[in-house]
Structure 1
């Protein structure tokens, strides 16, 4: 019996919706206060601009690779192709290795953030918070256990909720009358020195986390219509749209709440709406924020479930992950495994603990190594090989590598060691596995 295959059913609209719902998760709502506290001044908006610049630069790398290799698994294929037959196998294995850890962390972080904001509505306590976060993961897996065209429609519905939430927050600041005041004051007292650079680096760790997901469409490459056009388009539309929304949201909040309150608040957006329209409106806003968080977990889990599938189908990972549901045509074993691990992580960690860990684990292999792989691929194949070509090559690639190195350092020594440790451990497992196979 022939194994069922993935089918190209996701349109540009649906791909953009999947990206944007992944990007606008609970991240901007839970890190807004942390970024303001880290920068400790009206210039905290620069951290959100820095996140957008890095995302746009890095998206050029993903666009060249995603349009040229539109297959399930995204970076797994990009690393394999970029580093060639021998080293490529190691690099792609390392990507899957770290994905099996960091993907559930990403899913869990959104679920934990969901539980945090639920605390504004209902006092949960420790046990209640963990019950909520674990239940979110279970519900997400249940909703994803269906055909991709149905998932595409669900993504658009969730995306509409995301846009409604963001528009309400932004319009509240605009109608309040002081919307542009934070922009006018963003250079007030600013000194371009080491202290500012260090604060910007630490704050950018949080803002970059809030932008992550612009490349989610690449993991679904085998299911995108006209991938050579729609993969790059969906990424750039997503990043530009989200950057505008993030900046406007931060400006709106800062135009109403004093900076001191923003820095200390755990529910800053809910408090912002309460200051404008009262407790009932704040409750409704919090429900919409929970909608956004839920949508993000949905989208992220969808993309990540394709990575172990792609590796297993290629013979580089456990074969059980290559199984596709006989009637719904999606990698159900991969989905169930990542969901199970994410469920466990959602019970173990706090939101701020996982943000830096997520970036530290991903930067070395998924971002820096992938960029190096693109340089190697250009050298072997030439620029005409690529279905989409970035402007000013290779400057965006070199700039992205430099910025990712700075972000990696800003995660802090413990997280840097953890990220390097995961990579070293994966390398050891890879060579041990190959040695056992040869025997």
Structure 2
């Protein structure tokens, strides 16, 4: 693959995925979780978790800039004891949680479309969502440099939608309404507060997910040692400011009690309601159109990065080999893109049948086990196993950010069943990982790899550095 994605484009790809339609559809979810405008706690907590976890991504992405992101990190770190098990499990789970994240964007798009199309039936909404997924796959069927330019355009549209919402909110801002916290809003000794906090943290980190999108395209990023950490930190800092300003502004226009009614427009399309209350119906329609483009851009950026995950794994014989083929002309992973498009469509239909909150709980629990927690451990393992590895960026205050990230992910996972009663996201996530372990056994037996063959230790990036030094010395 060709390294043609620079800092600005990488940051734009991250932010397009991070902002997307997320805050437009989850502001009411956060208010429902906390039961009032103290929902701002969830946004702050999510930002802090994203930042400490982002530092984990920054060190790994700068030192191991390969296509596939976490797959590369787990492959390099855990090959010494468990062979190819951990990278295989990551790709196995990523084939579910990455497209599920994209499916939430499609659910949000259809939800806002109903504001412009009030008579839209449930069947029509389903067909529109499936059509959106198909359109994204078709647009991604091209060269990466043209995709990067298109991502910047979509990123600009996202910023326009966000800026319009913020300006409209603060030109008609009611501070007493925005900060009308109910009595006993924060009761640290009460169990219900911590359940609400865990639910809000889950929603918050969901909205920040995407700060790592460029990491999945590490083989296509220019100067990865410089670009990767900066794109992660810049995107998190910028989006954190945007979310806090948006949340407070919306609460200053729309009464939070209205958001508690899940059948109201304030719940399903709160940004449109803000624009209608402030600038009128026509302005609300225009900005709703921009939000639809923003939702589309988030799905676009997510599938762009996610489709690269199984490619590198298959190329290294850590996943099914069919995923290792590139398009003969445009040089993108064909089967990875198609497979994730199909799962995105299925996830969208699941979200329509259940709820957006359920979809978020399911995808986060699957993601936490193999990606989030294992990746925190990978930083320490690599520092011990490959101390000579060139690290253009080292985590600030190591190992504190990794410890804090691990605690945050454990809180999300531990409270998942209570936050989504009746759907058992913890049990489903464990079942999927168990199925992945079983698939690994059959796959490794077929490929005659560990534990049915020799354990192969291949320090790819460290060896490349050694060869580079030898070439310079020669």
Is the aligned partner of 1:93 residue 2:95?
A: no
In the alignment, the residues of structure 1 paired with residue 45 and residue 105 of structure 2 have an alpha-carbon distance, to the nearest angstrom, of 22
User: Which string of whole-angstrom CA distances, capped at 9 and with x for unpartnered residues, describes residues 144-170 of structure 1?
Assistant: 111111001000000001111111111
In the alignment, the residues of structure 2 paired with residue 431 and residue 387 of structure 1 have an alpha-carbon distance, to the nearest angstrom, of 37
Which shifted more, 198-207 or 305-314?
198-207
The alpha-carbon distance between structure 1 residues 8 and 174, as it changes in their structure 2 partners (threshold 3 A), is same
Aligned length: 434
1:330 alignment partner, SS class: coil
User: Which string of whole-angstrom CA distances, capped at 9 and with x for unpartnered residues, describes residues 370-416 of structure 1?
Assistant: 11121111222338742210111011111111110001112216101
Counterpart residue number, 2:226? 229
More helix by share: 1
Which shifted more, 422-431 or 145-154?
422-431
The alpha-carbon distance between structure 1 residues 378 and 142, as it changes in their structure 2 partners (threshold 3 A), is same
Counterpart residue number, 1:269? 271
User: Which string of whole-angstrom CA distances, capped at 9 and with x for unpartnered residues, describes residues 206-254 of structure 1?
Assistant: 1111111100111000000110011110111111111111111111111
Counterpart residue number, 1:306? 308
In the alignment, the residues of structure 1 paired with residue 339 and residue 106 of structure 2 have an alpha-carbon distance, to the nearest angstrom, of 17
Counterpart residue number, 1:3? none
Is the aligned partner of 1:357 residue 2:362?
A: yes
On the 8 A contact 2:88/2:318 being kept in 1, the answer is yes
Counterpart residue number, 1:197? 194
In the alignment, the residues of structure 2 paired with residue 369 and residue 51 of structure 1 have an alpha-carbon distance, to the nearest angstrom, of 19
1:335-414 superposed matches below 5 A:
335-350=337-352, 351-382=356-387, 385-412=390-417, 414=424
Is the aligned partner of 1:45 residue 2:40?
A: yes
In the alignment, the residues of structure 1 paired with residue 242 and residue 176 of structure 2 have an alpha-carbon distance, to the nearest angstrom, of 15
The alpha-carbon distance between structure 1 residues 155 and 330, as it changes in their structure 2 partners (threshold 3 A), is same
Counterpart residue number, 1:135? 131
Counterpart residue number, 1:419? 429
Partner of residue 278 from structure 1, selected from 262, 277, 280: 280
Is the aligned partner of 1:124 residue 2:120?
A: yes
Structure 2: 5+ residue runs without aligned partners? 262-266, 419-423, 453-474
In the alignment, the residues of structure 2 paired with residue 20 and residue 341 of structure 1 have an alpha-carbon distance, to the nearest angstrom, of 23
The alpha-carbon distance between structure 1 residues 179 and 153, as it changes in their structure 2 partners (threshold 3 A), is farther
Partner of residue 17 from structure 1, selected from 8, 12, 21: 12
The alpha-carbon distance between structure 1 residues 49 and 186, as it changes in their structure 2 partners (threshold 3 A), is farther
1:44-63 superposed matches below 5 A:
44-63=39-58
Is the aligned partner of 1:214 residue 2:182?
A: no
Q: TM-score, normalised by structure 1?
A: 0.95
On the 8 A contact 1:383/1:389 being kept in 2, the answer is no
Q: What is the Cα-based RMSD across aligned positions, in Å?
A: 1.9
Structure 1: 5+ residue runs without aligned partners? 1-5
In the alignment, the residues of structure 2 paired with residue 39 and residue 268 of structure 1 have an alpha-carbon distance, to the nearest angstrom, of 17
On the 8 A contact 1:42/1:187 being kept in 2, the answer is no
On the 8 A contact 1:180/1:251 being kept in 2, the answer is no
2:406 alignment partner, SS class: helix
2:260 alignment partner, SS class: helix
